[in-house]
Structure 1
Amino acid sequence: MAIDSAEQSQSEIFVENLTFSFLPHNPSVPPSLVDINLTLPKGSRTILIGANGAGKSTLLQILAGKRLVSHGDTNVKIKDRDVFRQYPPGVTFLGTEWAMNPVVRGDIVVADFLNSVGGYRHKSRRDLLLDILDVDLDWHMHAISDGERRRVQLVMGLMGEWDVLLLDEVTVDLDVLVRDDLLKFLKRDSEERGATILYATHIFDGLNDFPTHVAHMRLGSFVTPPTPWPFEDLAAGGPNTQLYSIALQWLRQDRVHRQELERRGRKLRGARRDPVPEDSETFYKKYDYSH
């Protein structure tokens, strides 16, 4: 799909003709992303909705420069700069894998850790985030919970004045109070500085007033491209004016769609209905002494 140059230049995040496969030389493995086209204006806050495996994380990782796409007429830009050849400054990516890194699970005091990544240069924002996320500077990184470690990650990632923020499920470990305070901070920060947020999540309660746009991905493509929120046809009210209800409706449709593909030959999920035991099942029954 061709996108005119004016629309491209006005977009803070711009993606055109993006297809990506983890195994490009294996035709039996479908691409993770198929013909993605995306334009997001400066200052927008977009929620990505989709089932597990829809391609949300892959898209965010490509935008973050963590995966390379080198074929075709793909065009991926942030702040009008090619993310593969001239990555722009001011972009922050926060994903779930950070908390599992052995380096950040070592015996280091949080205050020293934040200073080591430049916390002293962003003192006012760092201190504001320490209060919002309820972080103890005397914590030892190896001795805290996953949720507490996630809070430290967020302080680290957000204390600089980012222009574009890519969030991949990083609020999943937070309790509801801290998450609510964080979302209010992100919304205020976006509004005051014109910063842009693209946020993939599976937790939708408390999000109704956060996004400016909502998008729906299914099996590597957009079913609903980023659309201004709240939707115009829902403005008069009704049962589907909540983002949670919209997400639930979309995800149910995704499951029905996938099950229809399975009836046409796609690999089945769930329990196997074959009445004949597998060889492994027959083997292990010999050593089942629970009866």
Structure 2
Amino acid sequence: MNIATISPLQATGLYKHYEGRCVLDGVTLALAPGRVLGLIGRNGAGKSTLIRIMLGLIEPDAGEAMLWGQPSLALDDAAKARLGYVPQQPEALPWLKIGDMLDFVGRFYPQWDHAFVDATLQRWSLPRNRMLGKLSPGERQRIALIRALASRPELLVLDEPAAALDPVARRELLREIALRAGESGTTVLFSTHIVSDLERVASHVAFMHAGKVLLHVEMDTLKECHLRLHIPAAAASQLTGKVPGEIARRKRENGTLSLVIVREEGAPWPALAEAPGVHAEVLSLEDLFVEVAE
């Protein structure tokens, strides 16, 4: 197999439990080269745990995670040098200065971009002689982003990268993600609960809820593969079991039913979508997120 066609990031049947609670419930997810995948879900949906397992930072209870065909738990140095990662809460080394830390880290990456570091520090008003321990949460996140981007990674993984950023910095980050993906073919996975961020830069979106990936689809075809069905009370009372493709269900006080259904690309809608009295509605990305997450 050509190395360019190997999936940079792939998970198969991942399970993880913490204190008796199922955090990941059989997650399977693959990311093709050059894609920008937005992983969206509420806090506690399992996004961070999935990312950490896929990167080999924690071990799953069952299942397998691979990076470029290598087990995530046994990556060699060459694979690690191709990867950039920013956790949700970056850890600062409080006794180091910004410049000293970035210079030290840069020695481990053959493609380290010193010009990018200097320009971005200046643009974000972060002096090289400031101590990391004295930075605000937003400043620490900016430094973590500079560190990840300066290595010119082939795979960039960002866990809630905009959580502590102001709107201007968030917009700059999204512009940088789009630039890297468009010009360098960088593969990007980023988790978020900010729908507008997905709409700006993601080529694909995956919805997570209660430890499962409920939907993984291309952004351009998202509206063509899901519907919300409003089902009258008489028809709702006769429904038994799940409708094919159902990912969310909401029962109203008047006995009517609201279903969100998803179909595979090119597959037909279930017969229920054409039933008398059933009204079908295409949702916005934000409304779809709310339906799935609630």
Q: Same fold (TM over 0.5)?
A: yes
8 Å Cα contact 1:133/1:155 also seen in 2: no
TM-score, normalization by structure 1: 0.70
Structure 1 residue 250: Cα displacement: 2.1
For the pair 1:249 / 2:288, whether they are aligned, the reply is yes
8 Å Cα contact 1:135/1:151 also seen in 2: no
Which structure 1 residue ranges, 5 or more long, are not aligned? 24-28, 256-291
Distance 1:144 1:17, change over 3 A: closer
Question: Match of 2:106?
Answer: 118
The AA in structure 1 aligned to 2:199 is: N
> What is the 5 A alignment of 1:1-291?
10-23=6-19, 29-69=20-60, 71=62, 74-87=63-76, 88-89=79-80, 90-99=82-91, 101=92, 104-106=93-95, 108-118=96-106, 121-131=112-122, 133-225=124-216, 227-233=217-223, 245-255=284-294
Structure 1 residue 240: Cα displacement: 7.0
The AA in structure 2 aligned to 1:97 is: Q
TM-score, normalization by structure 2: 0.70
8 Å Cα contact 1:64/1:91 also seen in 2: no
Residue 151 of structure 1 aligns to a residue in which SS? Answer: helix
For these two proteins, the number of residue pairs brought into alignment is: 232
Structure 1 residue 248: Cα displacement: 4.5
Query: Which has more strand, going by share of residues?
Result: 2
Question: Match of 2:252?
Answer: none
The 2-side partners of 1:250 and 1:15 are apart by 23
Q: Percent identity?
A: 24
8 Å Cα contact 1:21/1:32 also seen in 2: yes
Which structure 2 residue ranges, 5 or more long, are not aligned? 226-280
Distance 1:232 1:206, change over 3 A: closer
Structure 1 residue 200: Cα displacement: 0.6
8 Å Cα contact 1:93/1:167 also seen in 2: yes
The 1-side partners of 2:33 and 2:119 are apart by 24
Give a deviation string over 1:131-175, Cα, whole Å, max 9, x none: 554433233323332211221121122210111111111221111
8 Å Cα contact 1:129/1:159 also seen in 2: no
The AA in structure 2 aligned to 1:18 is: L
Alpha-carbon RMSD: 2.9
Structure 1 residue 234: Cα displacement: 5.8
8 Å Cα contact 2:84/2:151 also seen in 1: no
The 2-side partners of 1:114 and 1:12 are apart by 26
Distance 1:95 1:115, change over 3 A: same
8 Å Cα contact 2:57/2:73 also seen in 1: no
